[in-house]
Amino acid sequence: MIDMLRIGNGYDVHKLVENRKLILGGIEIPHEKGVLGHSDGDVLIHAIMDGLLGALALGDIGQHFPDTDMAYEGIDSKVLLKKVMTLIEEKGYKIINIDSIIVAQRPKLKPYLNQMRKILSEILNIDIDQLSIKATTEEKLGFTGSEEGIKSYAVVLLEK
């Protein structure tokens, strides 16, 4: 039997506002603005979850964790990621690798990337070297450049 590989692509975006925490990759990052969202608004975890779900044609996070369901209001996205991992494992798949990027003008995220990788690789039950998290700006262009929002992309490779 030939091993089956599946690729998924994930994307998420949230508005930046005052009086909210900035949660990225499962950690709180000091900043004067945070993300507006039904859950904790962790764009990185949300993009990874969408990539995982998409790889297996299981829909998106909005289908599994709708923002109309009060059970998910303010929920820690790490909890949701664990639920998605259960779905992946039930289908008999494992993660080969994840490549992701966070797009934000500020704050500078480089000091936090390894901590994010450690936390998320433990939840995903993969080696830290299977998870890439990068950060970039858009050189003050667009909604991320003007600090109105933050976004993240992820590509995942799964194997059965």
Annotated binding site: 12-14, 38-39, 46, 60-62, 65-69, 136-139, 143
Q: Is 115 exposed, middle or buried (0-12, 13-18, 19+ CB in 10 A)?
A: middle
Residue 10 CA to residue 69 CA, distance in Å, equals 22
H/E stretch holding 100: strand 94-103
Residue 46 CA to residue 153 CA, distance in Å, equals 9
Instruction: Give alpha helix (H) positions in 4-112.
Output: 43-55, 61-64, 77-90
- Known binding site for a divalent metal cation: residues? 12, 14, 46
**Is the backbone of residue 64 left (phi > 0), alpha (psi -120 to 50) or beta?**
alpha
- How many helices (H) and strands (E) the chain has is answered by 5, 7
H/E stretch holding 120: helix 113-124
